[in-house]
Structure 1
């Protein structure tokens, strides 16, 4: 009876979470679907966003996301390998790094925005630019990315490492051919969580990437992200609520596409390595 009760509670929680997501998505589709069209995706905003489309906003969002991933993935994966494989003995350095990551994960995004403005926009002279926004988001997603990747690496059975050592594989070959492919699903989860936080961020980008809604010509141009565009339409533009919902639908679709692509690539990587 106890096991059945726990299983029923877990199932009820899963259904409630799915129902909440379906409710939010249905509300966005109900309000934003009439505004969606090919022109909405391919044209530039006009009349403060009440007319036109969101093409420059989508491009700026993708560029900010690429900068964020290019900066955070090497550092995040390298730190996760250090914590999970090199510092398995829980020494003082590893404990200090984990404590710092846990504190950074709880820092409000507005604080990261102020830091990014002072560090990248002012001190490094990048100004309000896509590069400043992407680097600020990289600092934000690193704690979640590192801790998730570390847990994924730790979930790989130790027998895999012993078997690789018995076959004469070096540590680097074991890491590349055995550990990382086996932890692909856990690494994908960390990447998905990082992507979700980066795509949904607004406060930090207000201080770093800026408000400009024109098509960016380089990473040093200012660019408006989708989340910032939604905030501006909903809060500052009278009559922009329907356009805000339509932009939110595009943002959710982009997030689902990135999540599905990440999980697919991780599964294929894991399968191709296992078939060697």
Structure 2
């Protein structure tokens, strides 16, 4: 009888602990979602009245108080394109090297991973000063979209490498053993087995990198500059959307309505990109699993 009572008490305690843990998770998720909705509602309430097609296509006028963000969007897209074109090949290649070609427990591998961890925590203003000194001054690129994009690539690399390496390491060792048994080269195994298995982690790292790059302000002030005209090439100076929002809010009297509208465009763009990337990844993985 005492043993049965003890088992019943332990079962009740475990059930209550499970319920408490589930409640904590739901409360945390609800709080985060509520904070996001509160932020989105506040920005939408203050800026949605300014949203229109001319606002998205026309350049800013009167220091941004009037006009739109057409040239700002083009500059932002070019900066992001340069950053991703530079960071993705280097990031994926480094992740493949760390996960597949560096011996486990290697001192050099530990040093590289620790360096990536430190770089991921470096403030963006430090990257901005570094980009200004290296790209703008030493390499002679000046304040340009190219300088800003390459600086953002340096910021995105630690996140992209770490997540992609984690995805490759999570691939089952059976994949590697089966590839070796079939006589496949390492390159073939990477292309046909390991990289597809790491695709969700790669997309997650890419989305985190895009989010950080698009929302970056401090680093771009020192590299891509403040110019709000329409850029003609990546060697022109260009104002990113985040820098435009900062400038309207802090330096331009009467610029808050357009700043809120631009912030709403930024959040909407990030939401669309994340949703589209997740949907395309899931669709690609389903096709790969179903198709023999």
Shorter-chain TM-score: which interval?
A: over 0.9
Structure 1 contact 49–233 (Cα < 8 Å) conserved: yes
Separation in 1, partners of 2:287, 2:28:
35
Please report how far the alpha carbon of residue 181 of structure 1 lies from its aligned counterpart in structure 2 after TM superposition: 0.8
* 2:228 alignment counterpart: 213
Please report how far the alpha carbon of residue 88 of structure 1 lies from its aligned counterpart in structure 2 after TM superposition: 4.8
Please report how far the alpha carbon of residue 168 of structure 1 lies from its aligned counterpart in structure 2 after TM superposition: 2.7
* 1:171 alignment counterpart: 186
Structure 1 gap ranges (5+): none
* 2:150 alignment counterpart: 135
SS of 2:262's partner is helix
Runs (4+) of structure 1 exceeding 4 A deviation are none
Tell whether 2:43 aligns with 1:28.
yes
Matches within 5 A, 1:70-85: 70-85=85-100
Tell whether 2:6 aligns with 1:19.
no
Q: Which deviates more, 195-204 or 153-162?
A: 153-162
Separation in 2, partners of 1:102, 1:22:
31
Aligned pair count reads 276
Separation in 2, partners of 1:220, 1:123:
15
SS of 1:239's partner is coil
SS of 2:140's partner is coil
Structure 1 contact 72–138 (Cα < 8 Å) conserved: yes
Structure 1 contact 184–269 (Cα < 8 Å) conserved: no
1:201 to 191, 203, 216: 216
Separation in 1, partners of 2:272, 2:77:
12
Separation in 2, partners of 1:241, 1:152:
42
Structure 1 contact 32–244 (Cα < 8 Å) conserved: yes
* 1:114 alignment counterpart: 129
Structure 2 gap ranges (5+): 1-15
SS of 1:145's partner is helix
Matches within 5 A, 1:171-190: 171-190=186-205
* 2:174 alignment counterpart: 159
The TM-score normalised by the length of structure 1 is 0.97
Separation in 2, partners of 1:200, 1:104:
18
* 1:92 alignment counterpart: 107
Matches within 5 A, 1:228-267: 228-267=243-282
The TM-score normalised by the length of structure 2 is 0.92
Separation in 1, partners of 2:105, 2:32:
35
Separation in 2, partners of 1:168, 1:261:
37
User: Which structure: larger Rg?
Assistant: 2
Please report how far the alpha carbon of residue 267 of structure 1 lies from its aligned counterpart in structure 2 after TM superposition: 2.5
Separation in 2, partners of 1:22, 1:155:
34
Q: Deviations over 1:217-264 (max 9, x none)?
A: 000000000000000000011111111000001111111122123223
